[in-house]
Amino acid sequence: MPFEPPVVSPTTLPEAYAIAAATPHRPLAGGTDLLVQLTGEIGPPPERVLDLWRLDELRGIVIRDGTLELGALTTYTEIRRSAACLAHAPALVEAATTIGALQIQNRATLGGNVMNASPAGDTLPVLLALDAELVAGGLAGERTIPAAAFWPAYRQTAVRPGELLVRIRIPLVDGGQQRFRKVGTRRAQAISKVVVALAWRADPQSGRWRDVRLALGSVAATPIRAAGTEAVLESAPPTEAVADRAVEALIAELHPIDDVRSTAAYRREVAGRVLRRLLRDAGGW
């Protein structure tokens, strides 16, 4: 049988903070990543586990202060069923729909995806493209970290020892558009070869794009923004000529690797094609 580390299941957030501050614990949300690690086959299993599942303070989806706020324990099923998410974060709903299958979506959480910090984490490019903020809490209080600064290196997060991720905030953007595409081996249960999230606001007069955000997963050691490509698209209309330049810029700035799931060449090519199709659909050409 797999390793069975000691676990504590606090029922209030202050209690959880106190436990996390006293001794290092691996936080456990929906378990869909952590339980796989109990075999010890993919690295040392966690020594002590802090089960967050009973912390109802970390659940729920609300609109507050111009943002869509999701508790860290929000499951993908809850995201799929949320009218607020559908209205304000359709790309996140799309990502939730493509993750695992129903068995995983019923347990796995947005906060778990954020904290697992896999470069293939499907929601992470969405959070980058939507300028999300991540709120970490601890005995010293809460602090807010922009998604752009949250994953500094491979499998690392900006959350400090003793802190827990408590919620995710996504700003509401009037007239904001967002798209999500995932390329994997099949439609369900696939770990991504390439993930693309794109967000923009179209200027109502000129049709030119503003505040363009293009984020990708599975093409670098962390989820990334494609800043060079964003610069090509910023203040430009989604024409075929602009798409040509944007795809060229994207292929030039991506440096993926060959691994068990795909090759660098395939990832670069597919990322370019996905971007071209998104621009073609938006531009109607």
Q: Which residue has the tokens 């690392």?
A: 156
By CB under 8 A, residue 6 contacts another protein: yes
Give yes or no for residue 266 binding another protein (CB under 8 A): no
- Lay out the site mask for another protein across 36-75 (x = CB under 8 A, - = otherwise): x-xx---------x-x-x----------------------
Give the whole-angstrom CA distance, residue 185 versus residue 175: 33
How are the residues of the chain apportioned to helix, strand and coil, as percentages rounded to the nearest 5? 35, 25, 40
Among 139, 149, 188, 257, the residue binding another protein under the rule CB under 8 A is 188
Residues 20-39 close enough to bind another protein by CB under 8 A: 28, 31-32, 35-36, 38-39
Please give the Cα distance from 256 to 217 (Å, whole number). Answer: 10
Based on CB atoms, which residue is closest to another protein, 176 or 184? 184
Q: Which amino acid, 62?
A: V
One-letter amino acid of 222: T
Helix, strand, or coil here: 230? helix
CB of 9 to another protein, least distance (A): 5
Query: What's the gap between Cα 184 and its chain centre?
Result: 16
Of the candidate residues 19, 84, 104, 173, the single one contacting another protein (CB under 8 A): 104
156 touches another protein by CB under 8 A? no
Q: Classify residue 182 by its DSSP letter.
A: E
Q: Rounded distance, CA 110 to CA 30, Å?
A: 9
Tell whether residue 171 is a contact of another protein (CB under 8 A): no
Footprint on this chain of another protein (rule: CB under 8 A): 1-7, 9, 28, 31-32, 35-36, 38-39, 49, 51, 53, 77, 100-104, 106-107, 187-189
